Structure 1
Amino acid sequence: MIDHKRCFMKRNSTLAVVCCLLLLLVSCGKKTSEKTSAPRSQLDAGIIASCTSRAQAEELSQQLGISFRVINEKRKLIEYIGISEEELRKHLPKSNFKINKVYQEVLVDGDFQVQSAIDYPYYGAHVGAQRSQRNASFNFPYLIQVDAFSSSNEGQGAVIAIIDTGVYYNHPHLSPNIFTQNGQMVGWDFYNGDAFPLDDQGHGTHVAGLAAGTLNGVAPKAKIMPVKVMGSDGRGDFGTIVAGILYAVDNGADIINLSLGGSGGGSITADVAAMIDSVIKAKENDVLVVAAAGNGGYDGLGDCNDNSPVYPANINQDNLIAVAAVNQWNELTSYSNFGGATVDIAAPGGDEWNGGLRSAAVPNCFGPCHEYEADYTYQMGTSMATPLVAGLAALVKTKYPQMNYKQIRDKILNGGKKFAELSGLIGSESVINVGLTLSN
């Protein structure tokens, strides 16, 4: 069991080795100890090398003690943490590798895994079998009660903006719920500057499926507004995210899901101030914002947001809910950030390291998908907990249409189930509960 200390110190973990997927990559290299006075949003986050030979990548993996994962058959990526570019170049055949500096701006808050590749355990499975897999992960039997849905309309009429890496909007269990007006999809790609916010990373698609997928979504009849603000490497910047928030507000979103975060240098910079202003604009337009508390740093252990702010989760506005992740025993996961003063509520996020359960099998597709060939995967992180809260917000909004953003927020926080394990770590000391929230 993880001994969760309060915000006075970093929490201890019984895990000896932790591997996590920050960005799109897996790193098991040593952690850098270099310090710098530069804002975190400008820190060098390592070196990325891409190669065309699996054998060479595997050889380097053995030589340097790092891990790699396959993005597709033609491209492999390796992330090196704590190794100089000069040292790296000594090991790289010039003809097959290209080195690029990558800077840490806003990170997708992670899909923590102990594997070096995303798992697709149910590829090609029958849809009926997919639905039965709700029992294979703790999110749905734990969170969703069938009788709760009998008193709701499953989110029909609510619009959830998924501001993320995009959404694979042709997926058979997402396409029916894509938000349209006058026959046109409402969504935008701010990362590439076009009207096609297609997911090329997978994170945003998974998030959308948890919130409002027709198969396993919390609000299976809510509409999805795809807004792409990050690229295939899971990175973006505060300015692009602000543009995405403003777009969602101006184009009919009721709820905004932000499964992302960055430190902003630990102070109220101009970029952070602009993000705060965008959340205030959302409030002025009666839009609720749900943001991930974050997954800690490179050590894979959650941090205290009271001491080390993460934005947008740390924006102190009454239309924002900051979400942590718990495991099936109602304990904060080892990776989840926390904060009694800054994190509002928790939701199931998956915990491979404690019990072997991750978040539900939901869409993850990067190419043409058909009804019986759609990609599904389990993932874990506060990114996965956050859309469960966004989906619940859609259920509340459509059951109680007279409620404004603050009333919906209060109902979710007051409708959660309290657990002593969360005392001092989460403001409400609660995990969301659909049945209690909709029945009270």
Structure 2
Amino acid sequence: MFPNLTSLDLSCFCGDLNTLLSRIPHFVSLTSLNLSNHPTFPELGLRALLKNNKSTLIPHFVSLTSLNLSLVFSNVGYLKRSDMTFIADSFPLLEELDISFPKGISGDDYYYNYNNALKVFLTRLSELRKVNLSGNSYVNDSLFFQLCMNCKFLKEVVMYKCRSITHAGIASAIYQRPTLSSLSLTNFKEAREIENVTLYFIDSLHLDLQCAKFLNDQHFNELCAFLGDLVSINVSGCDDLTNSAFFALLRNCPLLTEIRMESTNIGVSSIPSMDLVEYHQVKSLHLAHNSGLQDEHIKRFALMFPSMQFLDLYACRYISEKAISKVLNRCCKFRHLNFAFYPQPKLFLINFEVSKLEVLNLSNSRIDDGALYAISKSCPRLLHLDLEDCHHVTEKGVRLVLDNCVHLREINLQYCPKVFADTVAKMILLRPSLRKIMTPPRFRL
């Protein structure tokens, strides 16, 4: 029965775990085993399981392991030194290990013995690719460094609530293990106010530091020097970052294609003096909720990023129509634009063509029928149009869009008081490509 079984999750099993494991037949070749949430470590059952698969005794159970073996012991009570020794002896080729949030640890002597065992344990499992040490509160910089030094294939580390880790420890470990692609941590020693920080880099080429309140321009500029292979970064909500951080990214990250700096202080300080360089690789700028952005910044961006395809200026209220027009005329490859909450009524009245544009968000703006006509003529490939809460748009303007945007699939007309409910039926007949209509007020099916 179940000869192809490779993964077994017993985290919610309520019976005798040792008995169950001992009865797993010899022909089952497990590569993933989850034994979380149990009060004790099931050593007897694991010994029987290993013996069933290989009729020899420890430490000759290596033949059972595979190159993608994964063990999960999260939330296990009383994980002892002998338990960790058993795992290291029995599964030396282990690739994924989760020993997060162990219970029952108390007393300085126990902590000392447990931590020493953990250090020996992790250094012996040299094939580890992924490890979760969350809740092991005595995990420190030294242990993290040794883990990165000894596990040459290590890619992902999770260390939530490991309060003895410092900035220096993180930096030295990253430097030691260049294959690392993901580091997730929270409440570490020098940044307790952070809810959650996840770093993705090197292999995935993505760095996510959203809402990392400890970041300032100085720290960030130093970090950028080590991010030469970065292609995507998210520092939204880091409100101490300014223009200096933005331009540090451009100087140090030649492969960067996406920048997310929403709700920062970009635009507040002066633009650093530097030669005007075109960054053709930058395709996406997310700059929503940056009230410091002015025309000078947007005009500079138009010259710097001629291949830009995604621009989000949601709630950036102090940018004129002329500045936006310069961007649209310079960057003709746009596919996604977000000008929600734009206060100027004449947006899009200036002549331009964005023939590849597919998504346009103008919600809560002062757009009117004249601007909608300009959009319909300039954006023939438009697929999604958001006009929510646009009080100056009428049925006439909507019809112009439907006449000219023959590929339109989705339109949002919620809270548009001058678009009447009976318009919906006409829209369906006029534009059969539509798949989703968010209806205007007073519509009843």
Q: TM-score range by the shorter chain?
A: under 0.3
TM-score normalised by structure 2 residue count: 0.25
Higher RCO (CA 8 Å, separation ≥ 6 residues): 1
Could you say which structure has the larger radius of gyration? 2
Return the structure number with greater strand share.
Answer: 1
